Structure 1
Amino acid sequence: MTPQKKLTPAMEQVRMFKEQYPDCILFMRMGDFYETFWEDAEICARELDIVQTSRSKDPEGNPIPLAGIPYHALDLYLPRMVRKGYKVAICEQIEDPKTAKGCVKRDVIRVVTPGTAIDTGIVDTSAAHYLLALAVDAKAHAGLAFLDITTGEFFVEEIPLEENNASLATEIERYTPAEILVPQQIPADLISFLAGCGRVITPGRADLFTDGEPALCTAFGVASLDGYDCADSPLCISAAAAALRYAKETQKTALPHISGFSRRHAGDAMVLDAITLRNLEILSPLRGDRNDTTLFGFLNRTKTPMGSRILRNTVTVPLLDADAINLRLDAVEYFTNRPVLCTTLDSVLAKVADIERIAGRIAYGNASPRDLLSLAASLALLPEIGKEIGTPSGLLAEQLARIPDLTEVAGLITSALIDDPPVVYRNGNVIRSGYNADLDQLRTVVATGRDWIAELQQSERDRTGIKSLKIAYNNVFGYYIEVTRANAGKVPPEYERKQTTVNGERFTLPALREREALMAQADDRILALEVALYESLLATLRDSVPDLKEAAEGIGTIDMLIAFAELASANRYVRPAFSAGEELLIRDGRHPIVEDSVPGGYVPNDTEMNASGDQILILTGANMAGKSTYMRSVALICIMAQIGCFVPARYAKIGIVDRIFTRVGASDDLAGGQSTFMVEMLELANILNNATDKSLILLDEIGRGTSTVDGYSIARAVLEYLHGKGAKGPRTLFATHFHQLIGMEQEFRRMKNYHFAVKEDQHDITFLRKLIPGATDRSYGIHVARIAGVPKKVLTRAEAILNQALREDAGSGGRKYYTQMLLVDTASEPLTPAVSAVEERVREANINEMTPMQALMFINELKSMLERK
């Protein structure tokens, strides 16, 4: 920064505000531009691709860098700066430059940061926009406060701070805050972790985090915080106070739409940690940027921004209470049985604006006239929604009760505003005639004045005989009489010259000056009155903000339930059932996102698991057989069921899942100095240390990141650990290429082998993608390599090495633990006559009552009997 020597008054203002907001880019209003200076100018020129010049020189004689943008282009340039992570202080002229004595007074009216932005060009309408405030203690706990300033949503939670910050990473992945506010004395390793999350980190003053309880009580008008469930969590209180204070400081105003906060507990919902959210592509795709490949994007058939935001939060916090889930399913079923109603409501909801965010802008005081008219049109539709739905019970009745009759609010807005107002109300021409008598009278003065001027023009033409004489107006000279040079000789002597132009002369008259002054006063008073009336309208509407927020949540929830119903009807989904135990029974389950994109059609599969029965399913087979897709489909079906959505299956019965853990694929953390295998082991440690009997675990290729012997040893030890947790354990899908593991089925009663059927002929194989009991000792890696285009020379050599290894294995007398189902096209040898025990078992079996899965298991049993023979 320039040394604090004598500067011009305007530049002294710049220096003073820059000292007050050192971490911000200062946008200084100077006439028709927002100017930036010194290093701010260099940053803006680079980031906005605008020209950098200089403005005079500093006291040392150095040119002062300068870069500016037109004031009317703020909405274009400001979002670009904030999206790049910069904070911008908007400094406005707070007095009229025409009447200012000396340097125009200026002040910072708001600070725009990534987490407190309210501008429509910055905030994504379909997602919440959170500021996260983080408070920590010496006991490895953290209080988190999430505040969406655009809607007033405000909640807190307390989490443990583990060594790897897994819980914190999960909350950041789930809610994707745009900015994280932290105390200045936060540990360096935690700052390093947060920086690695790709969020803007703002160190906050200590006073933002202290004396939180009295500050919150004052803000919400309560005597204590007992009603907010935070008595046992000073960290939550500290974080909440910091978030609210920071929001008010940046916005430079009260935020009446933030009327309280709630507390969320980890035990209230299924836990989906950051790794699982990514691996299952719940919110973000692993590759590319197609949102429809994520679960949220696929489910999002909502018609309103409120519905989209509610759905996004819903998919990350599946419910644990079966009664609450069934209430949602009842509502979805209500709509699935009424497709015509869904179509009708879709057309209505598509016209509903973002009531929640408009309510936030009303509370803040920057709602535009078009915002208000859009709100009025939306409120007028609300009675139609209730009328169409009728009188349901349960959750739908609760949501309809949240939507009050707001037709009076809509009527107030439409009576006050013209049908097609400008975006900015400060320029006037927004208030409807008949709304205010004083305004109508002033408008009459202006209108009659214009009529008077028109009459004066005609009378002067008649009096002077100058047919081309006209009375015109511009912002510099006001009203004037214009006469061409050819008619200069006919100008009466009482005309007063105002200006000489190329084509003629401009004059005025005392009567014209008086009328102009009267009209100018009326215009100024009209503009001031329109601004006052509009701001008064906003103040009146603030009283309705709580009702607007309630209505928005009710509409959003109904919108989400209708989207679930339409998805179920379009894709043949079924309503899931829930059990009190830990079973997992899925008939003909499908992957909701993949099923429509599989060439030749998707092959559905059954799943039968139980924490005390078939707890661990060991999946073997080729990489392209469909193991990963199958595993993910099981997890997604559980998530969809517990958010209250129908599921892609013929039948589903689910014992509530408290957590889903995934370890899928290979990745590393080069920035953190961790190898692929270290990342795998850290994720595995998290799973083994936190899984319960009600958890669902997906493990794909554990141990593949190290040597074969080490990897096999780890994989087997993991299986033994998961099986040995007690009489029951977490339901686990374990995909592996360590074929030695398939023998564990005979050692551990809750482990079962499964594989995907393959059709093989002399030249090629076909993956049938059907899950069947039993195991395989083949991975068909060379075949997959051939499909991928690996050179033929490499494939030939690989086959030779494989055949040699198989001969050596056979010669060692190694035992084969597999029952691979091969559908061979070549002629087979005659079958060996069945032994009597097998024949007897076949005769005893009642195949008519067997399910497909039971039939396959029966075949596996017969084959085992033959092998033992």
Structure 2
Amino acid sequence: MVPPKKLTPAMEQVRTFKEQYPDCVLFMRMGDFYETFWEDAEICARELDIVQTTRSKDPDGNQIPLAGIPYHALDLYLPRMIRKGYKVAICEQVEDPKTAKGCVKRDVVRVVTPGTAIDTGIVDGSAAHYLMALSVDAKKNHAGLAFLDITTGEFFVKDIASEDNHASLATEIERYTPAEILVPQGVSADLISFLAGTGRVLTPGRSGLFSDGDAVLCEAFGVATLEGFDCADSPLCISAAGAALRYAKETQKTALPHISGFSRKHASNAMVLDAITLRNLEILSPLRGDRNDTTLCGFLNRTKTPMGSRTLRSVVTVPLLDPAAVNRRLDAVEFFKNRPVLCGTLGAVLARVADIERIAGRIAYGNASPRDLLSLATTLELLPEIGDSIGETSGLLAEQLAKIPDFAGVADLINAAIVDDPPVVYRNGNVIRAGYNADLDELRDVLANGRDWIAELQQNERDRTGIKSLKIAYNNIFGYYIEVTRANLDKVPPEYERKQTTVNGERFTLPALREREALMAQADSRILALEVALYESLIETLRNYVPTFKETAEAVGTIDMIASFAELAAANRYVRPEFSKGEDLLIRDGRHPIVENSVPGGYVPNDTEMNASGDQILILTGANMAGKSTYMRSVALTCIMAQIGSFVPARYAKVGIVDRIFTRVGASDDLAGGQSTFMVEMLELANILNNATEKSLILLDEIGRGTSTVDGYSIARAVLEYLHGKGAAGPRTLFATHFHQLIGMEQELRRVRNYHFAVKEDQYDITFLRKLIPGATDRSYGIHVARIAGVPKKVLTRAETILDQALREDAGSGGKKYYTQMLLVDTASESLTPAVSAVEERVREANLNEMTPMQALMFVNELKSILERK
């Protein structure tokens, strides 16, 4: 910044505020514009595509860059800055420019950051919007996390292990997708590098931000101790929570009464889905593209309200471990599924419900718009219809309905205060309904009747003076005046007061006119001030209901999610899962919930039968593209759906509670972190082997393929032996591989079973039947897949030659073969004698002696075509 010498008073203000908020773009209110200067102007001109000009010169004679936006366009430009990761300090004029002496006083009224934004144009209505704070104890390899959604008041903390590869931290970031992360000073460069690589906005906390967290929280929630929040034994969580709340208040420049407490989430209460599993199973975000309906969360989402959508997103990443709690949800889903008419009626009601939770947050913050309040009133009037639609019920649904009180009085208050079609911004007036306040009505009458009064005065004065041309007019300089032409000046009464002489006559006023003018001149400003005061008083009244609004929103969200599960189950023939006390996993005719709707010719369902002490490990071999990965994912998704309380895509399902799902699927690297594809694979594998329990479900796809064949096979075999163990049980494991030597382990390890997907093969092509059957195969049909992918024919031909040679050498050396796959061939080819090729048949049929040279050439071309089709 420019040194503080010889700057104008206004530019001195800019310099001062920029020093106070060095990491922010400063939006300085100057008249009808928000102006930015120096480097901020260059940023805004570039990011907002607006014109950069100059204001004046600095003391060194350099032009000061300037870029501005109209003040009324803030809601258009501010979201663009925040979405690009910038923080914006909004500096307003805090005194009336008309009465200001010297430079108008200004102050920063709020700081908008990616994690503390509350504006509707920035925050996605269907998803939570978290600020995350991180407090780390490097010596104990432990960390405390706090997540705060300022738009709804949701606030919770979690303890995690802080390992060298930050796996637990990556999981929480993947699960909650915070918009901004607060970190204390002094954390390691390795951690900063990791956090920066997540793509989140990273904010280093100022000195003291993470200190005295217990005092900050106790003062905010009016308690003497934090023992009631179940975190007195976790100083790291307290530190993170205190920093998050303090930062939120500092940026918003106001109290946040809707943040009335916080909770602690324990990992032991839910199935663990780490960051790798969340990505590989596409729970929240797709691996490719940006279609939300290809994720499990997006596919399951049939909710009608933003609250329901947020509830679903929070539920789908934390499947329950308590069968009783899951069955409570399933009972509620079944209630709706068995009553499709009721479910449809409820859906129509929910579709008209506004985002109570976010509106409550804006009421607490104080920036709820008049349209927000009308939407809230309409929704509050609708809420009784939810209970009327559902009728008599019990269990979870009855509990949620009990949380929805009668808000008729609140709705009446809002409707009595706000006009039917209010403006977006209440500070511009025309918001308060007639009849709400007597003083406001009187002022409006003064303004509305003022012109009638002046017209009546004009006629009375004409009659009294006899000056038929007398008229009362108005201009911005002299206000209201009585105009008399020169020819009639002798008729002017003595009580007229001269105001101005004109070419054609004189302008006068009267005490009564002057008083009315003063009253009318003040009426506009008094009306606006009174409307603002009445509106803010209404907001203050509604603040008392914010906790109840929040509880109601949570209940509506839960009911909406359950109804959504029922709608999905009815539309897709899902069944209610059962839960076993052991580690059984029995699925009859299971399907992949997302893929089944996009398979040409229909999805082929498959059975799954696993048990930690029985069929513990299923080795899946066989063709590429046969469906191994889809099958494995379908099993995992079925377990997740069952434990979040959804019906599942199967004819029958019995699930032994899964405490954690691990996945090692596909190839990826982390070159920025210095890790190769194989290193990433081994790190993920180590996490699985070190943390799996007998209640876990493991999906391993192509373990060991990232290194040499011998090394890869050795690792894959050792992994299988380790997972099998020497005890009576082990984690349920689906193990897809192209190391066909592994299929012999079925005879060596008693809890290992071989399975493969059936293939139909004829002389020219193969067909994947997508059906899982017992047994193994030693064929992967990789060359066939390469042909489908469009690999050049010369490469395919050479590959077939090399493959034939390798197979002959293997057979000649006495290598052990496992041709156990059931190959389904055309009945015409089923014979003990070798099949006759199409080329051979044509050659035998052809009469070469009777062919002309042209016919012979065409015959050779025909044979060539047959060969090319193979």
Name the TM-score, length of structure 1 as normaliser. Answer: 0.92
Alignment pair present for 1:134 and 2:134 = yes
- Once the two structures are superposed, the pairs formed by residues 786-825 of structure 1 within 5 Å of their partners are 786-825=787-826
Q: Which runs of 5+ in 2 are unaligned?
A: 834-870
Deviations along 1:20-72, whole A, 9 cap, x unmatched?
11111111100001111111111111111111111111112211111111100
Query: 2:743, 2:754 within 8 Å by CA — same for their partners in 1?
Result: yes
User: Matched residue of 2:829: which SS?
Assistant: coil
- Match in the other structure for 2:75: 75
1:827 aligned partner, one-letter code: S
Q: Which runs of 5+ in 1 are unaligned?
A: 832-869
Distance 2:351 2:479 in 1: 48
- Match in the other structure for 1:862: none
- Once the two structures are superposed, the pairs formed by residues 28-43 of structure 1 within 5 Å of their partners are 28-43=28-43
- Match in the other structure for 1:144: 145
Distance 1:464 1:306 in 2: 71
CA displacement at 1:478 relative to structure 2: 4.9
User: Matched residue of 1:694: which SS?
Assistant: coil
- Once the two structures are superposed, the pairs formed by residues 633-648 of structure 1 within 5 Å of their partners are 633-648=634-649
1:576 aligned partner, one-letter code: P
CA displacement at 1:142 relative to structure 2: 0.5
Distance 1:458 1:607 in 2: 96
1:188 aligned partner, one-letter code: A
- Once the two structures are superposed, the pairs formed by residues 268-667 of structure 1 within 5 Å of their partners are 268-456=269-457, 471=473, 478=479, 509-510=509-510, 511-667=512-668
Distance 2:684 2:45 in 1: 44
Query: 2:400, 2:559 within 8 Å by CA — same for their partners in 1?
Result: yes
Query: Alpha carbons of 1:216 and 1:630: their partners in 2 closer, same or farther (altered >3 Å)?
Result: same
Distance 2:215 2:86 in 1: 32
Task: Say which is worse superposed, 560-569 or 725-734, in terms of deviation.
Answer: 725-734
CA displacement at 1:414 relative to structure 2: 0.7
Query: Alpha carbons of 1:372 and 1:324: their partners in 2 closer, same or farther (altered >3 Å)?
Result: same
CA displacement at 1:421 relative to structure 2: 1.1
Query: 2:472, 2:480 within 8 Å by CA — same for their partners in 1?
Result: no
Query: Alpha carbons of 1:2 and 1:635: their partners in 2 closer, same or farther (altered >3 Å)?
Result: same
- Once the two structures are superposed, the pairs formed by residues 691-840 of structure 1 within 5 Å of their partners are 691-724=692-725, 726-825=727-826, 826-829=828-831
Distance 1:411 1:599 in 2: 55
CA displacement at 1:214 relative to structure 2: 2.1
Deviations along 1:284-332, whole A, 9 cap, x unmatched?
0111110000011101110000000010111111111100000000000
1:748 aligned partner, one-letter code: L
CA displacement at 1:829 relative to structure 2: 3.4
CA displacement at 1:162 relative to structure 2: 0.6
Query: Alpha carbons of 1:434 and 1:50: their partners in 2 closer, same or farther (altered >3 Å)?
Result: same
1:441 aligned partner, one-letter code: E
Distance 1:163 1:449 in 2: 76
Deviations along 1:489-543, whole A, 9 cap, x unmatched?
8899779787999xx9996744544322111222222211111111111111100
Query: 1:115, 1:130 within 8 Å by CA — same for their partners in 2?
Result: yes
CA displacement at 1:479 relative to structure 2: 5.0
Name the TM-score, length of structure 2 as normaliser. Answer: 0.92
Alignment pair present for 1:4 and 2:25 = no
Alignment pair present for 1:190 and 2:191 = yes
Query: 1:457, 1:471 within 8 Å by CA — same for their partners in 2?
Result: no
Distance 2:574 2:50 in 1: 54
- Match in the other structure for 2:117: 117
Query: 2:28, 2:92 within 8 Å by CA — same for their partners in 1?
Result: yes
Alignment pair present for 1:108 and 2:108 = yes
1:603 aligned partner, one-letter code: V
User: Matched residue of 2:208: which SS?
Assistant: helix
Query: 2:486, 2:506 within 8 Å by CA — same for their partners in 1?
Result: no
CA displacement at 1:804 relative to structure 2: 1.0
User: Matched residue of 2:662: which SS?
Assistant: strand
Deviations along 1:268-290, whole A, 9 cap, x unmatched?
11111001111111110111110
2:127 aligned partner, one-letter code: A
- Match in the other structure for 1:88: 88
Query: 1:379, 1:410 within 8 Å by CA — same for their partners in 2?
Result: yes
Query: Alpha carbons of 1:90 and 1:782: their partners in 2 closer, same or farther (altered >3 Å)?
Result: same
- Match in the other structure for 1:842: none
Distance 1:647 1:473 in 2: 76
- Match in the other structure for 2:44: 44
Distance 2:507 2:770 in 1: 91
Query: Alpha carbons of 1:593 and 1:464: their partners in 2 closer, same or farther (altered >3 Å)?
Result: farther
Distance 2:439 2:371 in 1: 24
Query: 1:57, 1:64 within 8 Å by CA — same for their partners in 2?
Result: yes
Query: 2:664, 2:701 within 8 Å by CA — same for their partners in 1?
Result: yes
Alignment pair present for 1:261 and 2:262 = yes
Distance 1:694 1:505 in 2: 101
- Match in the other structure for 1:22: 22
Query: Alpha carbons of 1:460 and 1:706: their partners in 2 closer, same or farther (altered >3 Å)?
Result: farther
Distance 2:482 2:110 in 1: 46
Query: 1:668, 1:676 within 8 Å by CA — same for their partners in 2?
Result: yes
Query: 1:742, 1:818 within 8 Å by CA — same for their partners in 2?
Result: no
Distance 1:78 1:482 in 2: 51
Query: 2:450, 2:520 within 8 Å by CA — same for their partners in 1?
Result: yes
Distance 2:486 2:335 in 1: 84
CA-based RMSD: 2.1
User: Matched residue of 1:628: which SS?
Assistant: helix
Query: 2:151, 2:362 within 8 Å by CA — same for their partners in 1?
Result: yes
2:767 aligned partner, one-letter code: T
User: Matched residue of 2:405: which SS?
Assistant: coil
User: Matched residue of 2:157: which SS?
Assistant: strand
Distance 2:674 2:209 in 1: 35
Distance 2:506 2:723 in 1: 96
Query: 2:434, 2:441 within 8 Å by CA — same for their partners in 1?
Result: yes
Query: 1:24, 1:88 within 8 Å by CA — same for their partners in 2?
Result: yes
Query: Alpha carbons of 1:56 and 1:810: their partners in 2 closer, same or farther (altered >3 Å)?
Result: same
Distance 2:218 2:209 in 1: 15
Distance 1:269 1:564 in 2: 19
